[in-house]
A and B are shown apart, each in its own frame.
Chain A
């Protein structure tokens, strides 16, 4: 049962309870939760070490070292160190703040108090100090922050109820049982800590935390390598040039151009020149790139945090970007993997409708109120007459209450059944209110419905059930409990009413129950079947309801046989099942119930919108197949219009393979037109015009359960599964373990190379949240594990739409624009040196002033592009939501890819050519207005630098599509800053202080007053920018993107006409399938009849000890076999030596 790979060697743990000294020998981990990385002392060395592990930073460090070698140094050291220090400081500050918050949250968890038995005394101890082997006393409603072994509890039979909300988000109670050996030890809950801190099952099951990188990051790494290769090529070209030049030209020029001491050789000179040019040209690998990206992403994260449209006022939870480095990935999602409970649904079951004796109740839904004539029907019924009614219960059809008042016997029987046939436990709280402890929320809904209609389940003992029937207390004798299981799909009780009649009440799946009906039910059966179809079509969870009158004698015989069977050792289960079968026949149909597994608000619309955006949504749930399918229908992921729904539920590898093969055959068979294989199919899918009504050759869905998935995930079947699944519109995986969730995500992630997003709310989603590219946690529910593991969190599933379509799209759009511009800018800036190399004897002479090189990227041009990267919008958020098709470019990776990179590079090269050769032509042998020479190196440098700053500013102005005040300030401000710094650095004052650092004194006064220099700058700017304008104009006219069209429309202030207003139908008339779904676990019936979960008024242990022991262990074994919970701790009992 060990799920961790890391610890798989550890087969047993030897622990002595309450003996810290002994246990310390084994050096088990302590219980402190560590998610933080640094402390004050280690921060600087570790952080610096980590930062220099980044290739970019290491590269700049290397450059810095190169620059310190005087023979090579073509630039002074400050040109590299100033940006490097800036970049490293900014990253360090960000890391430090992140870690500070991690420390804070760790401390909160670690410092919760627990009561631990130390030195024979109960002492308060922080959870982080709890050791393996400690005995802990827990009281009601306390947190548990370790895996524990239950020793004993105050409840009878050593039972205890636990809530696993922090694990899986489910708020219902689960029963755990102490070892019988220890169950009588003490009266309070006391438990033994077994696995601590990082060893807890949860931590081990939650998968490895991977450092997530976005696809853009990965692309960038490749590009940076390419650029580096390009840089080396340039260096080699220039180095060869230098060798030749020194040999041919420089050699004759020795009168004026001496050799340096150690380099009297043209080849060696070329070698040194290579390094010198590497230093000069290093700006093509922009150092500020990474830090700028971080800043932009941080900005986007704040926008997510600040978004009021993702703020859930119900729980006052804002959306939160917990990871700030993944934002643009949100704009590229292709697959969404969603948990069901707590994510799609609210985990609230409400009794919606019922069909009693062929009559349907509850027909009046919200929203259709305008059409109905009787306004009364819009209001929920008033149950205030009934003092015991549950105030939260709402029902809109008054006819049912009227029927109850009229005394319809079938209705009575129906409600009585609901009040009797269940496993709910009742309790009265201090205010005298009846509280139901439910094991299955479906039953809760049904019992509550009966309660509100006057059949109030009051209490139960192992042998009786007390119900208040319209004001009178009636006690039924519970004769037998025919428990639910997944094969029977039904549950029955046999009771004797006060009149002495014996009745069997049964509820279960319509498919099963209808076969057990008495033939006389035929008419009713057809009616009820119609009703059930209607319910199923609405995605409601249905149960059929039937009863049977038993005569005393028959029952006694049967009961005898049951008791006999119970004592059998062999074939006990089979015999019992047979007996159950026998008595549950000739049933009289009463009707059916329809319970709504309430979807979260806006789920249907969100799913519809995401599908329009070409995002595929897979549901991965631990729930049963029926439940999962029902939800699929409820949120329109599955529809009755689908060509086929493939269900894979085989239990062996062979079966699964066969089922997959059949499904594929079926799919290709029906798609004759594209039967050549899946490549063709996919191509067609890509070619589909987004504007045209979707005409996919067919809608298919795949439903696969956990057992089959285990086989299907084996390597040889994997591809079949993937192929099939990816062709289906909807995929639902049910009964999957947390690990399988992660495996499915990994499968798609690795084999489809698609960007995946996992969304969930419970601890069982943690592994999938961690393995997907993006993990989203639903917060505001009780559990926090999912949120803590997630990259983004918000309170409602519907916010996913805004997160992806607005924030994600914008982030991607902005980041791509930013990158394109950034590369362009640096190529334009740097390659000028390359051209100049051909005119300065390849001597690694820079074109610009060293200060300009230092400041260009971090001062003169950083802010406008940052502003664009943070604030730019092509279309408004409303339009992004209205036109989900706008999302597609991100999925297809269109805005920034290798091709775009080469375009940017070509653009940059073109600009650098214009920047160099226009001044070159203009400066050739020219004289100034006053006759003085102006073709000197410094004027040339200033002219080119000024042109460059103006050209890149005009370019960013062209690129910016959303000019806020900030953009204006930054763009104009950058130009102003450039000129003020230029004037300052060329002023007499600063030259007086540092004559060697600022040799450009007086240059700006002299050059920039020359008309011809301004003419050069103007020409350079226009020549660099005009081609871009032409290309953009033609592109917009000839092949406008959807975004262009919407921008134009936005501009024209026309009311946006949705390209495709395919609103999802909210309801369909009827469905052929069964709507049966029932969340219930086997074992509770036994629990009830044994009375173990009831507080004993008399000591219950009257029968022999031996029998109890036998019973309880078998029950535990049953339980362990059937439960899929993550916290079950019984499996390792055998390894604990007490």
Chain B
């Protein structure tokens, strides 16, 4: 009989707070004295924040122009028509004139916006090779399978940069001209095309392969550009610090958008006379129309915008804060009423007892 007692290791359990489930504990209770003030404070804070956000957003100036060129919408129609033939004529240009009655406060950012463009489609967004883009020489000549069908050219040459994202690089270009007085000459406004991509993107994530004999072109030897590209990747820009995989337009494009309507930064206007903004006057945007969007019902827009402390124009956040804040206050009152009634009832009950 002894085996049973010893087998079960009959020892008195330890008398610790843990084993006896008596650990000291904070036992919060959703009492009115906590919940109601919390609701009113949160409500007020949210309304305050909401108002701030709303007015900040309201104060942001935005100027946008749809240059898709649907028939009868301006002089980009011609280019758009040509685009329908699926072979855009080389350097089809169109222009957008606008005038500013007053200063457009700076710093001013120039964005391009695409709508109905599914950069977030899985098949599209996986079609890239981050190893290749990080400049690893071995990966340069062996693009990942995810890039297919833009992995290799028919000739068997590996594509660099491979994949659908790179292949569909946005290739319209803009230049901005300013006419100070009516009838005066148009002066080109300097567009700062650097610093439009994230620092980590151009310095960590995207790297060019090591130069061969000091030449980037040689480094890319044995690769072919994506089918849609008219020129190889190392000729994206004449600036040696902005060409190849680290070309900022390319980097910006490669950071795929979350939603089918998106804006990407094209340039910053902050140099010379324009550092405080765009002075009043007439402006001309010269557009090189290359990128076909009408086939899928997309739109191309050009957007001038300045920013506030919380970023670009977006009324949503302010309104949402206002709504949530007001609901908090409203529900706070409802809860207060219920609480008072319940208290009364409780007192009565206790009296009755």
Interface residues, chain A, CB within 8 Å of chain B? 70, 74, 104-105, 108, 249-250, 252-253, 255-258, 260-261, 276, 302-303, 305-309, 311, 313, 315-318, 320, 779, 782, 784, 810, 839-841, 843-845, 871, 873, 877, 918, 920-941, 961-967, 988, 991-992, 995-996, 999, 1001-1003, 1005-1006, 1010-1012, 1015-1016, 1019, 1022-1023, 1026, 1029-1030, 1032-1034, 1036-1038, 1047-1048, 1050-1051
B6 CB to nearest A CB, Å: 10
Residues of A within 8 A of B321 (CB): 1015, 1019
Whether the pair A1002, B201 counts as a contact (CB closer than 8 A) is yes
Given known pairs A845-B120, A871-B21, A935-B258, the reply for A258 and B164 (CB within 8 Å) is yes
Q: Once the chains are docked, how many angstroms separate the CA of A871 from the CA of B24?
A: 11
Which residue of the partner chain A has the closest CB to B341?
Answer: A1037
A-B contacts, 17 listed (Cβ < 8 Å): A249-B118, A249-B296, A252-B296, A257-B121, A276-B122, A320-B8, A873-B21, A920-B259, A927-B265, A928-B307, A930-B307, A936-B255, A996-B144, A1005-B200, A1015-B49, A1034-B335, A1047-B29
Residues of B317-333 whose CB lies within 8 A of A: 317, 320-321, 324, 327-328, 331
Residues of A within 8 A of B311 (CB): 926-929, 934, 1010-1012
Residues of B within 8 A of A317 (CB): 5, 8, 10
Whether the pair A938, B255 counts as a contact (CB closer than 8 A) is yes
B23 CB to nearest A CB, Å: 4
Whether the pair B53, A1015 counts as a contact (CB closer than 8 A) is yes
Report if B77 contacts A (CB, 8 A).
no
Residues of A within 8 A of B19 (CB): 302-303, 306-308
Q: Once the chains are docked, how many angstroms separate the CA of A1025 from the CA of B324?
A: 11
Which residue of the partner chain A has the closest CB to B56?
Answer: A1012
Residues of B within 8 A of A962 (CB): 25, 27
Whether the pair B130, A105 counts as a contact (CB closer than 8 A) is no
Residues of B within 8 A of A104 (CB): 7
Residues of B within 8 A of A108 (CB): 3, 7
Whether the pair A931, B258 counts as a contact (CB closer than 8 A) is no
Residues of B within 8 A of A1051 (CB): 27, 29, 31
Whether the pair A932, B25 counts as a contact (CB closer than 8 A) is no
Residues of A within 8 A of B327 (CB): 1026
Residues of B within 8 A of A782 (CB): 1
Whether the pair A933, B111 counts as a contact (CB closer than 8 A) is yes
Which residue of the partner chain B has the closest CB to A997?
Answer: B130
Checking B258, B259, B265 against A932 with a beta-carbon cut-off of 8 angstroms, the contacting residue is B265
Q: Once the chains are docked, how many angstroms separate the CA of A499 from the CA of B200?
A: 120
Residues of B within 8 A of A258 (CB): 123, 149-150, 164
Given known pairs A1015-B53, A1026-B324, the reply for A1002 and B198 (CB within 8 Å) is yes
Interface residues, chain B, CB within 8 Å of chain A? 1, 3-5, 7-8, 10-15, 19-21, 23-32, 35, 39, 42, 46, 49, 53, 107, 109, 111, 113, 116-125, 129-131, 133-134, 136, 144-145, 148-150, 164, 167-168, 196-201, 204-205, 252, 255-265, 268, 292, 295-297, 305, 307, 309-314, 316-317, 320-321, 324, 327-328, 331, 334-335, 338-339, 342
Whether the pair A105, B15 counts as a contact (CB closer than 8 A) is no
Whether the pair A924, B111 counts as a contact (CB closer than 8 A) is no
Kindly list the 7 A-B residue pairs having the minimum CB-CB distance in the complex, ordered from nearest: A1002-B200, A927-B312, A940-B258, A306-B19, A921-B316, A845-B122, A843-B122
Given known pairs A104-B7, A1033-B335, the reply for A931 and B312 (CB within 8 Å) is yes
Whether the pair B204, A991 counts as a contact (CB closer than 8 A) is yes
Which residue of the partner chain A has the closest CB to B327?
Answer: A1026
Checking A307, A840, A963 against B120 with a beta-carbon cut-off of 8 angstroms, the contacting residue is A840
Q: Once the chains are docked, how many angstroms separate the CA of A995 from the CA of B201?
A: 12
Given known pairs A931-B107, A1010-B311, the reply for A966 and B10 (CB within 8 Å) is no
Given known pairs A845-B121, A933-B255, the reply for A925 and B130 (CB within 8 Å) is no
Residues of A within 8 A of B310 (CB): 929, 1011-1012, 1015
Residues of B within 8 A of A1015 (CB): 49, 53, 310, 317, 321
Other than A108-B3, A967-B25, give 12 A-B pairs with Cβ distance below 8 A.
Answer: A105-B7, A252-B297, A258-B123, A276-B122, A845-B125, A933-B257, A933-B264, A992-B204, A1015-B310, A1034-B335, A1034-B338, A1038-B342
Checking B20, B200, B201, B297 against A306 with a beta-carbon cut-off of 8 angstroms, the contacting residue is B20
Whether the pair A311, B12 counts as a contact (CB closer than 8 A) is yes
Q: Once the chains are docked, how many angstroms separate the CA of A925 from the CA of B114?
A: 10
Residues of B within 8 A of A253 (CB): 118, 295-296
Whether the pair B305, A935 counts as a contact (CB closer than 8 A) is no
Q: Once the chains are docked, how many angstroms separate the CA of A988 from the CA of B258?
A: 23
Q: Once the chains are docked, how many angstroms separate the CA of A843 from the CA of B107?
A: 38
Given known pairs A936-B255, A1019-B324, the reply for A877 and B314 (CB within 8 Å) is no
Checking A105, A252, A963 against B26 with a beta-carbon cut-off of 8 angstroms, the contacting residue is A963
Checking A261, A844, A927, A964 against B25 with a beta-carbon cut-off of 8 angstroms, the contacting residue is A964
Q: Once the chains are docked, how many angstroms separate the CA of A1038 from the CA of B338?
A: 8
B350 CB to nearest A CB, Å: 11
Which residue of the partner chain B has the closest CB to A926?
Answer: B314
Q: Once the chains are docked, how many angstroms separate the CA of A16 from the CA of B307?
A: 102
Q: Once the chains are docked, how many angstroms separate the CA of A261 from the CA of B149?
A: 8
Whether the pair A1036, B30 counts as a contact (CB closer than 8 A) is yes
Q: Once the chains are docked, how many angstroms separate the CA of A308 from the CA of B168?
A: 72
Whether the pair A936, B257 counts as a contact (CB closer than 8 A) is yes
Residues of A within 8 A of B111 (CB): 927, 933
Checking B28, B296, B328 against A961 with a beta-carbon cut-off of 8 angstroms, the contacting residue is B28
Q: Once the chains are docked, how many angstroms separate the CA of A1045 from the CA of B35?
A: 17
Whether the pair B317, A921 counts as a contact (CB closer than 8 A) is yes
Whether the pair A937, B130 counts as a contact (CB closer than 8 A) is no
Q: Once the chains are docked, how many angstroms separate the CA of A189 from the CA of B174?
A: 111
Whether the pair A1037, B342 counts as a contact (CB closer than 8 A) is yes
Checking B20, B42, B117, B133 against A1022 with a beta-carbon cut-off of 8 angstroms, the contacting residue is B42
Residues of A within 8 A of B134 (CB): 991-992, 995
A786 CB to nearest B CB, Å: 12
Whether the pair A1037, B25 counts as a contact (CB closer than 8 A) is no
Whether the pair B27, A922 counts as a contact (CB closer than 8 A) is no
Whether the pair A252, B309 counts as a contact (CB closer than 8 A) is no
Q: Once the chains are docked, how many angstroms separate the CA of A1011 from the CA of B321?
A: 14
Whether the pair B296, A255 counts as a contact (CB closer than 8 A) is yes
Which residue of the partner chain B has the closest CB to A874?
Answer: B27
A910 CB to nearest B CB, Å: 14
Checking B5, B13, B46, B53 against A305 with a beta-carbon cut-off of 8 angstroms, the contacting residue is B13
Which residue of the partner chain B has the closest CB to A958?
Answer: B30
Whether the pair A961, B295 counts as a contact (CB closer than 8 A) is no
Which residue of the partner chain A has the closest CB to B119?
Answer: A937
B96 CB to nearest A CB, Å: 19
Checking B8, B24, B116, B342 against A964 with a beta-carbon cut-off of 8 angstroms, the contacting residue is B24
Q: Once the chains are docked, how many angstroms separate the CA of A927 from the CA of B21?
A: 52
A886 CB to nearest B CB, Å: 16
Q: Once the chains are docked, how many angstroms separate the CA of A871 from the CA of B46?
A: 35
A877 CB to nearest B CB, Å: 7
Which residue of the partner chain A has the closest CB to B135?
Answer: A995
Given known pairs A306-B19, A1051-B27, the reply for A925 and B317 (CB within 8 Å) is no
Whether the pair B30, A1033 counts as a contact (CB closer than 8 A) is yes
Residues of A within 8 A of B8 (CB): 317, 320, 779
Given known pairs A105-B7, A938-B255, A1001-B204, the reply for A922 and B316 (CB within 8 Å) is yes
Residues of A within 8 A of B201 (CB): 1002
Residues of A within 8 A of B200 (CB): 988, 1001-1003, 1005-1006
Whether the pair A933, B265 counts as a contact (CB closer than 8 A) is yes
Whether the pair B27, A961 counts as a contact (CB closer than 8 A) is yes
Whether the pair A307, B20 counts as a contact (CB closer than 8 A) is yes
Residues of B within 8 A of A923 (CB): 258-259
Q: Once the chains are docked, how many angstroms separate the CA of A1034 from the CA of B164?
A: 54
Whether the pair A841, B3 counts as a contact (CB closer than 8 A) is no
Residues of B within 8 A of A784 (CB): 4
Q: Once the chains are docked, how many angstroms separate the CA of A309 from the CA of B53?
A: 59
B117 CB to nearest A CB, Å: 8
Which residue of the partner chain A has the closest CB to B3?
Answer: A108
Whether the pair B13, A318 counts as a contact (CB closer than 8 A) is yes
Which residue of the partner chain A has the closest CB to B46?
Answer: A1022
Q: Once the chains are docked, how many angstroms separate the CA of A926 from the CA of B321?
A: 17
